[in-house]
Every structure is written in C-alpha cells, then in structure tokens.
Amino acid sequence: MSHETLQLDHKGEVATITLNRPEKRNALSSLMIAEMMAAFDAIESSHARVAIVTGTGKAFCAGMDLDALRTLAGQSLEQNVEDSRSFANLLYRIYSFPKPIIAAVNGAAIAGGCGIATLADFTLSVPEAQFGYTEVKIGFIPAVVSVFLRRQIGEKRARDLLISGRIISAGDALQLGLVSELVPAITLAARAQEFAGILLAASPTSIARTKRLLLRYDDPALKAELEIAVRENADIRSTADFREGLSSFLEKRAPKWTGR
C-alpha cells in the first residue's frame, strides 16, 4: 500500500508509521488523516504486535495544514461537522487501538499533533520538543482533544493548557504525565524499538484485553462527549472571531477580536 503523507514499515512484529511531510512540519490534512486511519487498519490486521508513530524532519506534527485552514471558512456546517468527525475518529482510533502504540516525538507537537502524540499508550520525546493546544489563539476551539485531555491529566491542568493555549516544554509535559520519557534525539528511534521489545515480551492477549478493559470503563461517556465536541468544533467556525483568527494567522498579523 502506497501513501503520500506517511510511510508504513514493518520490522518483525513492530510496525512504524512515519509522518512524512517535513516541508509542512508534518501538518495534518484530510489526506493524512485518511492515510493514518488506513495505516492503523493495516497494522491491526497484520502480524505486528506494537505500533510506533513518529515524524520526519524537525517536527512531529504541527497541527492543521495551512491549505486545509484556508478552506474552513468557506465550508458549510455539514462539511465542517464531517471534517471535525474525521479528526475525532482518528483520535478515538489511537485511544482505542487494540495493540500498544508508542509515540516517538521527534519535535514540536502542536494542536492536533499534540493530541496524536499524547494519546499514544507511551510517549517518548526528545528534550527539545514543544507541546501545546494553541487553538484559542486563532479563534478555534480544542474541542475534540479536550475529551481525552481531561481524563489524562485532570480538569484543572486541562483547563490551564486548553484555555491559555500556551506552549510547554517536553520537561513540563513529562511532569504533567503527557510524556512518558525524555530521550536524546540521536537515540529516539532505538529507544522506541527497545521499548517495543519490552512490550513484545508480554502476552499479546493480556495486553489487548487490558486495553479493552480500560476502554470499557468509560467508552459510552467518551463517545457521547466526542459527539458534543464534534458539534462544538464545527459550530465555532461560523463565528466572527474564528474568521478573524484564521485571517490574522494566515496573514501573520495580530488578531482584532470582537467577541462574536
């Protein structure tokens, strides 16, 4: 299977998804989301027992692609709902994936990219990486990721990151529990493979059933909240502040908010 935005490789029982748009800082597009979903489907049906997700270049994933952003203001509500749901489906797929996922974060993980990086079962990060949910700074809303982040780090800490939109260091992300381990860039790939080896030593049935058990505790509420988030994600795009935030971001100027 060939992909335009990523590479999928198998080495023994370890499959690696490498986001491969370095010239775009591995930014998310509708095609990348679709190809990531297809890659996870392929891994689930393969002999691989562990998945690694990483990026090429200096960034892990810098959030939404600029070309994708430009199309948002002209979309209908139905199109925006569909677009929002596709991203929600990707994050849920990562969260609920039956095989363990290791994120090897090689650089900045921002907005949607931060969600992908931190929803993996294990997140290894280079010390230089930065993390953040910056949506509020461009009149957007971190709706989908909020469903998961509250569960990961608690309400108060989630409010801090989501409402401020601030960027944090990999060290701060480690303290918050968003990152499992800091790894020098030169050894990141090797450490991800080594970590995968630790998982391969355990029973695949036990791991799969443990992941299924953890999901079952909260799955109905999770799905209901994701639907709320999808609608909020789509609705914000009809506001004046979203249009201003989007324009100012693309034009590289300070926004002039109206609160509408």
Number of domains in the chain: 1
Contacts of 223 (CB under 8 A, 6+ apart): 92
Average pLDDT value for residue range 162-181: 98
Question: Is the residue at 253 inside a domain?
Answer: no
The reply to whether 135 belongs to the active site is yes
Closest CA to 121 of 22, 59, 198, 61: 198
Radius of gyration (C-alpha) of the chain in whole angstroms: 18
CA atoms within 13 A on the CB side of 240: 5
Question: Please, are residues 60 and 3 in contact by the beta-carbon 8 Å criterion?
Answer: no
What's the Cα-to-Cα distance from 86 to each of 82, 91, 128, 230, rounded to whole Å?
6, 9, 30, 9
Beta strands at 122-125 and 108-110: parallel, antiparallel or unpaired: unpaired
- pLDDT tens, 19-43? 999 999 999 999 999 999 999 999 9
Question: Is the residue at 78 inside a domain?
Answer: yes
| DSSP bridge pairs for 105 | 125
Share of the chain above pLDDT 70, in %: 100
Question: Is the residue at 225 inside a domain?
Answer: no
pLDDT at residue 73, as a whole number: 72
Backbone angles phi, psi at 105, to 5 degrees: -85, 110
Of 2-11, 74-83, 102-111, 113-122, least confident by mean pLDDT is: 74-83
pLDDT at residue 74, as a whole number: 80
Cβ neighbours of 229 (radius 10 Å):
23
- pLDDT tens, 43-81? 999 999 999 999 999 999 999 998 888 887 788 889 999
- pLDDT tens, 236-247? 999 999 999 989
pLDDT at residue 133, as a whole number: 97
pLDDT at residue 1, as a whole number: 63
CATH number at residue 175: 3.90.226.10
Contacts of 232 (CB under 8 A, 6+ apart): 141, 143
pLDDT at 140 over 90: yes
Using alpha carbons only, give the angle 249, 255, 256 rounded to the nearest 5 degrees: 150
Question: Is the residue at 239 inside a domain?
Answer: no
Question: Is the residue at 248 inside a domain?
Answer: no
Question: Is the residue at 99 inside a domain?
Answer: yes
Average pLDDT score over the chain? 96
Of 161-175, 208-222, 237-251, least confident by mean pLDDT is: 237-251
Question: Is the residue at 142 inside a domain?
Answer: yes
pLDDT at residue 250, as a whole number: 87
The parent domain of residue 59 ranges over: 6-188+195-200
Closest CA to 168 of 117, 102, 212: 117
pLDDT at 174 over 80: yes
Question: Is the residue at 38 inside a domain?
Answer: yes
Q: Which of 82, 135, 181, 194 is catalytic?
A: 135
